[in-house]
Structure 1
Amino acid sequence: MKRIDKIYNYIKQRSNEYTKDDLKSRKGIDVIEISEALKILRNNVNKELEELLSKGKIVRFNGNPEKYFDKNRLEEMLGTSINEISLNLEDVFNMMSSKKNNIDNDPFEYLIGAETTLKNQIEKAKESILHLPKSLHTLIIGETGVGKTLFANKMYEYGKYKGKFTDESPFIVLNCADYYNDPQLLLSQLFGHIKRSFAGADKDRVGALEKADGGILFLDEIHKLPPEGKEMLFYFMDKGKFNRFGETEGDRNANVLIIGSTNESKDSNLIKPFLERIQSNIFIPNFSDRDIDDKLKIIKGLLQNETLKINKPIKITAEAIKALIGITSFGNIAQLKSNIQVLCAKGFLNSINEDGVISINLSMMPSNIKEGLITINARQEENDRLTKLLPTEVLVYPNKNYVSLENDEKQLNLYKIISDEVIILKNEGMDSDEIKKFITADINVHVKCLYDKFKNDKYSKYNLYKIVDAKIIRFSEEIKKYAEKKLDREYNDRILYALSLHLAVLFNRINNIDYEETHENVLDMTLKAPKEYEIAKYVCKEVEKRFGVRMPEEEVLYITLILTSVEEKNKKGKIGILVMANGNSTASSMVEVALNLFDCNNIEAIDIPFDVKPREIINIAKEKVEKVDNGRGVILLVDMGSLVKFGKILSEETGVKIKSLGMVSTPTVLEAVRQSEANEMNVDRLYDYLKSFKGYYSYGDEKN
């Protein structure tokens, strides 16, 4: 037997005799032990050990003296592969930590696509976490809403599952986009700062990097880091050292795994520095690129999340599922989740007084989601497969053993919001029909906070050009500028995406489907948004002229809705609202309802005892007017005609434009709050609108 084989067999035999505790106490096999056991000179032992290391047969534990161990046996003990030949024992012992974590199964096992679309990504993530001597810093790349944050969380949980982290190991999240316009503040949030390092720094501050010591720092939208921040981060990744902002002496140390995410294309110059410096890059596919089975599992999983919140089964038709899949483009899974929440909320509202199943079907879907069915029909192969896989209806039951697709514990619970609103409005004496109409109109207001996570810059035009003809996009850009000029209003790019996608789908419908026109609510829209309606008529004429397409009459309505629904919030703030009523709690009770239903700070109440003097009321009202005025005027809502006169007096004494309206009721107060922040609304328009407001019902509900 050759000398090298004798040495390897000895190391292998001794390694197999080791338990984890033996390794911790004896720390491997050294040259002296091998030399004495085999009667081979130490120089020759060292020579053969180097050869065995180069062949990947053994590993070396750094220290004095250096010790050796069979690689296969160590991998067996750690439960992972090893790519390094020299290891620090501290890292090995951390992997062997006897501390119990609360994760008993592989967290990636529950991720939809683990055996299909995401299989390679998961393998790479595991390798990054278990890499020795230290985990590899990782960059997760994918479009907005594909699940990058969820994937990073799974990496963290997997690290705990494998003993790389403990239950106390932190997982710190910092969204670089939140501080994009203030690089100094971003660096302070990331690295911390010392006292007096900049104006307002009145004390030392610990940054996210220090907070993440011993765990993971997840930097969402990492490409938003300023150049200085990138260099500081790269220095830390290379050396494990950093300084707080403003610190010039000495280095701080932290043991942190950096996981970054970006929605930029891998070809973007913004992320090239990260691709060059971060060893592990993981690309998460879009929802549209996922396997059909994965898409169905994702929809079922999101529905399962909703059933757990309401403890009711949900029934959804095959056509509704197809529409949801077809409409999911921008926003990916996050957009799909929002659409499902809106639909489930509407279904929940319809069944709030019943104990049965919540139903979701095509008829209850808004038109923008219904259009997804047209998109799917155009993708014949996918449509055929979905038809084969889906029964007519799918029933999803609450399953408490189901592992949620969501990570955010503070997620919006629409069902609790709806239930709470129903209780409030019932207590105010509203009947069931009025309540249903009010909340139906209000659901999208609550859900908008989910869409607000998608900032405009995330929706790059590059992505839009991939699915919409360039001519349509250029036309939409022209319309955006035209509308801004005509309405004296600034739109963000959401209108560009909304209009481009709408026209693209419309052209497809006109060319491929017998288009049935409807003209409902057109007159109503001309009254509610006359300026937008006129612009929409202009758009339709231009479409016919440039694209040679006859625009259905109802398209004027749809484009009007786009113009009114994606506008920017008015930078001046909301119209102020002051409610005054006789009695000890009449006004405050109505305002309390509004505060419970809306996130508003532009409304105040004055309860007027019958024995108080008018001048005292006016003085109190002046203070309230000044408090709620945001530069757009104030609506004074009162219960008696005599109080209407107070508006003129208050306007003269405060210099604030005030319009007064009598016969106030709770629905009037609620509608005033709802309409008060609309861009096109001023105090005169709001006054005229409220004068004609008849409660929460439509003309179609009136009986002759």
Structure 2
Amino acid sequence: MKRIEAVYEKLKELSGENGASAIEIADALNLDRANVSKDLNRLCEEGKAVKGKGKPVLFTAAKGNKKEETILDKLASTNESLISAVKQAKAAVLYPPKGLHMLILGETGVGKSMFAGIIHRYAIEMKRMDEKSSFITFNCADYANNPQLLLSQLFGAKKGAYTGADADKPGLIEKANGGILFLDEVHRLLPEGQEMFFNFMDKGTFRRLGETEAERSASVLIVSATTENPDSTLLKTFTRRIPMIIRIPSLSERSLEERFNLISQFFREESSRLGRQIRVSVNSMRAFLSYHCESNVGQLRTDIQLVCAKAYAEFLSQDKDEIEISSLELPQYIKQGLYMETEHRQLWNKLIGINKRYCIFDETKETMLYDEEENNENIYEMIDLRVHELRSKGISSNELEEEMERDINDYFKSYIHSVNRKIDISSLENIINPEIIGVVEEIIRFSGESLGRQLSERVYYGMAVHIANSIDRIRKNKKIINPQLNKIRTQYSREFSTALDCLKIIDRLLDVSMPIDEAGFLAMFFVYDERDIEGQRKDVNIIVVAHGVSTATSMADTANRLLGAKHAVGINAPLEEKPEQVISRVREYLREANVSSDILFLVDMGSLTTFGKEVEQEFGVKTRSLSLASTLHVIEATRKAMMGYTLDEVYKDTYNVFSLIQNELTEEAEEDIQKLAIVTVCTTGEGSAIALKNMLFKQLQFDSSILEIIPLNLVGKESIYSRLRNIEKEYNIICIVSSFKLNTKIPQFGLKEVLKNEAAEKMQNLIDVESTYIKMGDTLANMLSTINGKEALKDIKKFIREIENELDIKMDTNILIGVTFHIGCMLDRIKAGNKLLEEFEDKEKFIHENKDIYNVVKKAAEFLNERYDIAVPDDEICYIVSFFNHKKYV
């Protein structure tokens, strides 16, 4: 007897009226509970068992024959907001004789395409369509600017119907005969196309493009979708032919229960793809349940796929036993979902439970929740959550401690004793690898015994951050040099000897060979632990100035709490406050605090980087400024300042933290294309430049994550050129708006043109072209196999620009996309040694008729030949010329 059959028989025996749990059946059969749970869920799918609600989950044997659930029924059972849409879809598919055409409405990413696909599968289930029937998707936006090509794609074309139609070509309607044609973004279908469609929906007949006599017929169910209001974007004659209009709600309109079901479904899908279980921490589930998911279900699915991909990569590269997702590793925008109000947490607990640790997903289509008794370090995820939440409410430290203690007791009663036996590392785990934390605990224990005294928490925290940074440097083959090594060795011999033994601990536990210079740094932790940190007023002052209501004070508070001191100072700069006002408040603080020692400013404002010189003259102290303002930088700067380092040493070491982060991201950063910028220059003050910036915001359309408008005030020509050069280090300046002509090759527009809205069209074209290049990078990277797609994009851009300059033209954006992809695929094909796909027809005649453009393209191609060690043939040159010979330029 198979295991599942034995489980079924035992279920019938034990379940009775109330039901039996998986653990009861597993114990009775002496089987693994997880395997029994899988079998029970499979029996439910087969209709032989019924799964109860509540905890623990009880199963009963099904009575009689259970009606098979359709795919739409299953969708509605876990998505209450779709019940109405499901009913409409069922009615449309089953309506005699061949069903009703449908229009699906909903925001981008709500799942319109997925719903259309489910409709097709339902039609097959209900025998309204054959199992081999087609489901064809067509995005009307892809051809919106080429009506002839769009109509030929849909309806087909007769030979000679247009240039390039060298054979009869069937359309998608013919290919979808007997099935469904899904028209996505149908609002981009031109009126001419809508007219042809409503005639087809009326009569079931159509003609290919260019045909005038014989009519063709097809039986196709049209399902269309749009994000727009159909009353304003579609012809009335078109919408009247669509009797069934279905609306799909956005993710924000759905309940938390529905979102939980979607998240579970997506994790199960990824588990099925990977062929392995995925362990997701409860905090991660809570984050996914509550974060702001701007692009609806589509973004939720993509975010889950990306997180699973990262976890799978770590599983392979680090030889882990399981694929595991922790909230500490989630992107910050997803992690923000954790910081919700109490009523949201109550819903979390209702869905997931209070004492659960992990959700485990596998391809058995069942979510299993376990109480984990081991690996108690993960409890600190919860402590971290609570600390962040309470701090955001601005409560005092005492209230925070009391509230957090109550919350931990209520939330984790089963773990509180083990937590109390350990050092509280909750905050530190956000920035330090737990493996390193374990090593530091061993070092603290050993050093305390060796030195005959108990070390304070500030040594623990400071050493953890320091060792993490040191290990990063070593693994990146960067040197560690301690210029005070000999002085430390002789002056603090006992601490230095202990530090040398600590290096052996690091070597043994982390398999990292630390240089002897590092012992000098560790020894100073032990030395300074006995000093009165609060009394050392000559230490370097760390002052953080950052935009936001509490950004600077939050970073300073975090550093101070981690290091057990009150050394870093945060000064917040509200977004609406002018830089002059911020600087005035900084001055006021320096006077009130009677600051007399050196200062390191950590800022996120360009105007403050030059403020230090004014402070030096006014207060008689030395200053340095860094345009860095992250928590890690503040911690490192504060730590080094407390250890008595000089201003220059603190400055250098804090900057090196930035270098470490940069190196960590080098590979990714090198693939990124520079962000775009429009620079506005005014002679009448920065306020005028900002007003001009606001005007451009209204006139232009752009993605703010790709392009930024940067206002500058003219101080003098040399100054403006210097600032432009600095901006160009981080941005690709696509144009400048200025009341006078600057000596630069960057396109410029006069102030008068902008004020009269005469420059907007040209500027918009520049934005569109450069934005298109940026967005094509990922696409090319996925398309090409022999060459690097993102690197190729830079070369293609240079190649096209040279031709445009020689011909004095600017290509239309849509044509630009075509020629870029064409050249990319051409380079990839030639580099791989593949033959020409098709010879250019009447090549010699074409070259003769387009000799000037041909010569320009041929000359520009020399750059590609040299760059890729290839020879672009004349046939390919002609194909490229045909793009530049197009009449649509801007």
Into which bin does the TM-score normalised by the smaller protein fall?
A: 0.3 to 0.5
Higher relative contact order (CA 8 A, sep 6+): 1
